[in-house]
Amino acid sequence: MTRPASTDDPAADPVVPALRAGIAVYNSGRYHAAHDAWEECWLDRTGDDERLLHGLIQLTAAVHHATQGNQAGATGLAENAREYLEALPEDYRDVNVDDVRGFLVRFAADPDIEHTPPVELTHRGTALHVAALDFEASAVVARALAEADGFDVEQLDRAIDYAKADLEDGQATSPFVTLVYDLAREENRGIVYQRLAEHTRRRRARDESVDGLFEQR
């Protein structure tokens, strides 16, 4: 079974930022939101990458259902997750797959999180948390949490594009970069989102004004 080379270049390997983002969201206890971090990438993958992401999505869904008191649903999802992950190497994509499989066996037998606490996910041996993520992974987190919390994702996508453009221009502390990080990390996301949306509206209006100067009259 081929093990893909690990890289943090999202252009070369978009799985890594999505994988790290979802792990951090899961470890924060936002189990329902974690699947949003993985889902778009999962839909584009095949083979072992698809099985890994599908298994993790089933895992987080199982834990989410258990937190909602749906133990029957949690059991079925845990069994499905175990099947997706069964044939993968124990550390596929530098994730603690073997620990997850062991947890899923125990959890399927007793899907009470008081008795079977959720497994902590690790990447490259580290239990990831949002504060430790780079910009690409933080942007995935911000989008997943924004979607889960009912914010305008289209507006956020535009803000993330502005942030990436600023980073390419060497503006690592631009308001867009800073606020995308804050949206991923801060608890009071409503205020952060409002500030980011206002900056986005201003930037878009400015760009449209400049573009208008070059239109034929």
pTM given for the model: 0.89
Say which CATH class 15-131 falls into: mainly alpha
Per-residue pLDDT of the chain (217 residues; tens, 9 = 90+): 444 444 456 557 889 999 999 999 999 999 999 999 999 999 999 999 999 999 999 999 999 999 999 999 999 999 999 999 999 999 999 999 999 999 999 999 999 999 999 999 999 999 999 999 999 999 999 999 999 999 999 999 999 999 999 999 999 999 999 999 999 999 899 999 999 999 999 999 998 876 555 565 5
| 129, amino acid identity | H
Per-residue confidence (pLDDT) for residue 3, from 0 to 100: 42
Per-residue confidence (pLDDT) for residue 209, from 0 to 100: 74
Spell out the domain ranges in the chain.
Answer: 15-131, 151-212
Per-residue confidence (pLDDT) for residue 211, from 0 to 100: 54
Per-residue confidence (pLDDT) for residue 208, from 0 to 100: 81
